[in-house]
Amino acid sequence: MKKRFLTLLITVSLLSSIALTGCGNKANNAPEVKESTNVSEPGEYPIAKEKINFTAFAGTRPAVDDFENNDFTKWMEEKTNIHFDWTVALEQDRQQKLNLLMASGNYTDVIFDSFFTPSEQYVYGSQGILIPLNDLIDKYAPNIKKALEDYPGIKAQLTMPDGNIYSVPKIAECYHCYVMGKMWINTEWLDKLGLEMPTTTDEFYNVLKAFKENDPNGNGKADEIALSGAQKGWMASPEIFIMNAFTYTNNSQNYLQVEDGKIATAYTKDEWKEGLKYLNKLFEEGLLDPQAYTQNGEQLKKLGENPGDVILGAAPGGAPGVFSNIGDSERYKAYKTVPALKGPAGEQNVYYNPLKGDATFNITDKCADPVAAIRWADANFEKEVMMRQVSGRPGEEWVEAKDGDIAIDGGQAEWDELVSPISDQAKGHTWSQVGPSLRTADYWLKRVSSGPDDIETLLYEESRDKYMPYIPELNEIVTDLVFSEEDSRTIVDIQTQLSNYVTEMMVKFISGTEDIDAGWDKYIAEFDNMNIKQYLEIYQKAYDEKQALK
């Protein structure tokens, strides 16, 4: 939380410094794209007739900690005749270091995985730091142009109020990622106790109670942990799944909702209170592990991989690997997802993360040859390049499928994975999803399935059957909005207070250190002291402006 707060402070300072620098809106009066005499025609390689050197910023990942000596880097340089001189940061420090580079003016020619918010893209673009890409894409990037035509929603996300696009996206149709807020339950324990898969909050409570009291692991000890979770892990916090049975809950969208065109907050609703009371009931009866709100992901995984007897009944997570090793123990095979639960008032929601076009390649005003830079980005939208970038070397990390190979979606497969791109074996061979690319649904669904226990097959089928039927309409959720510089500064300040307070009080209400009935009115009143009214007004204005553009 401290690191996130520091990042927010840097962002505020950054936006303030930009607002005070220079004058005028360069992007609105962007110069015409200059032809490059050193670049081949679109689709021809190498891109550069004479070698080009660009400076580049990127964040490292476990599978790609050395861009300079990476196999994909070398292959791509040979293909394009474009070399990058790297400025890198550890992934956990990436955003902070990038913010400092931007504020100091020491940013690079191109930026990989900036993940700039729409407001940041607009601010940097309006000051001329990020150059507009519209004409470059139209003239020199046919693959990117087609992708934006095929995904008009992403093009709309990337188009700023001035009409300009400042970022090349990473488009990834990861099917199961749309509904990543899942709950996993030990089906062997269900079978042992003669229980059905729960479908309501009452049934879920009864199952957890049976897990705790009826010795499903059969060792004669009361060592079962009915439900646990973690505070650092992919969708590992219990309320992400459970609260959606009471009201639509999505922390990545700041717990915002849309009701009849009006922005509202989930955490001030009576339904939120009822959800917290339910979680408190689980906590008080020992069904919710007290460590779920203090431990990290590795500690949760130790519960899932407890030496000897299985002790974990249920856990939230985007995939089984959140709470279990996908390895020799094969513990994960006992767990399947709990479907979206129906709450006492009939609510049945899922955490929904719609397809987005995150900012993964930006060209700055320092770049001497933007045409070559956009051509390099465009190459990554070709299937051959994408496969090498994301999955590795053909014949080494992956191979073409054979006739008759069954894909994850049940049809004819197109390719087979030999080595997981996030494994140690793949280290140095891929870019581990860094940078722009186009991965359609076929990238995931046309891979060879090894059977029902195949992780991607499992995630696809569980998502399709138990979560996707309950996704909200796009007009019911708050996706990325664009704010003015002044509103951005205000939002960041208020959002920090709100996030800290909501998290603090949620844990207190769930654990019972604060009585929810006695303390609810005081809890609600405190939001006025944090200027929540102004916060919602700013969001409403930005939301209305976005709707007006449709």
* Bridge partners for 170 per DSSP: 358, 437
The whole-angstrom distance between residue 24's C-alpha and the CA centroid of its chain comes to 34
Q: Which amino acid is at 382?
A: E
pLDDT at 34 (0 to 100): 75
The pLDDT score that the predictor gives to residue 32 is 67
2-53: pLDDT as tens digits = 333 333 333 444 443 333 333 333 444 455 667 888 999 988 999 999 999 9
Q: What is the pLDDT of residue 448?
A: 96
Cβ 158 vs Cβ 164: under 8 Å: no
Q: Which residues contact 537 (CB under 8 A, 6 or more apart)?
A: none
Peptide bond between residue 339 and the one before it cis (omega within 30 degrees of 0): no
Quote the pLDDT of residue 7. 39
Half-sphere exposure of 394 (CA within 13 A, CB side): 10
What would the pLDDT profile of 227-260 be if each residue is shown by its tens digit? 999 998 899 999 999 999 999 999 988 999 999 9
pLDDT higher than 70, residue 55: yes
For residue 239, the one-letter residue type is: E
> Per residue in 400-451, pLDDT tens?
999 999 999 999 999 999 998 877 888 999 999 999 999 999 999 999 998 8
Average pLDDT, the chain: 91
Alpha helices in 391-425 (DSSP H): none
418: helix, coil or strand? coil
Average pLDDT, integer, range 519-525: 98
pLDDT of 424: 80
- % of the chain residues with pLDDT over 90: 79
Question: How many CA atoms does the CB half-sphere of 285 hold within 13 Å?
Answer: 18
182 or 356, higher pLDDT: 182
pLDDT value at residue 9: 37
Least confident of 20-34, 364-378, 454-468, 477-491: 20-34
The pLDDT-based confidence of 550 (bands split at 50, 70, 90) is: low
Of 27-41, 120-134, 484-498, the range with the highest mean pLDDT is: 120-134
- Residue-level pLDDT at 92: 83
Closest CA to 324 of 306, 299, 295, 304: 304
Q: What is residue 17's predicted lDDT score, i.e. its pLDDT?
A: 39
- In this predicted structure, the answer to whether residue 354 has a pLDDT above a threshold of 60 is yes
208-217: average pLDDT: 98
Among 539, 519, 485, 512, residue whose Cα is nearest residue 14: 485
- pLDDT tens digit sequence for 294-319: 999 999 999 999 999 999 999 999 99
> Mean pLDDT across the stretch 167-183?
96
Instruction: Write the pLDDT tens digit of every residue in 61-92.
Output: 888 989 999 999 999 999 999 999 999 999 88
**Domain limits, the chain:** 46-175+355-449, 180-338, 485-549
Residue with tokens 């300009």: 164
Tokens 């990390």 sit on residue: 397
Q: Indicate whether 182 pLDDT > 80.
A: yes
Question: For a pLDDT cut of 70, what percent of the chain falls above it?
Answer: 94
DSSP secondary structure string, 486-503? HHHHHHHHHHHHHHHHHH
User: Which has the higher per-residue pLDDT, 42 or 210?
Assistant: 210
What's the pLDDT score for residue 16? 39
Q: Residues 298, 303, 308, 314: is their CA dihedral positive or negative?
A: negative
Residue 5's pLDDT is 33
Question: Angle formed by the axes of helices 2-20 and 94-104, to 10°?
Answer: 20
Question: 456 with 406: CB under 8 angstroms?
Answer: no
More confident residue, 549 or 477: 477
- pLDDT band (50, 70, 90) for residue 369: very high
Domains 46-175+355-449 and 180-338 share a fold: yes
pLDDT (0 to 100) of residue 22: 34
| DSSP secondary structure letters along 124-142 | HHHTTSBPP-HHHHHHH-H
Q: The domain 180-338: what is its CATH number?
A: 3.40.190.10
Cβ(341)–Cβ(185) under 8 Å? no
CATH architecture classification, 46-175+355-449: 3-Layer(aba) Sandwich (3.40)
Mean of pLDDT values over 395-399: 97
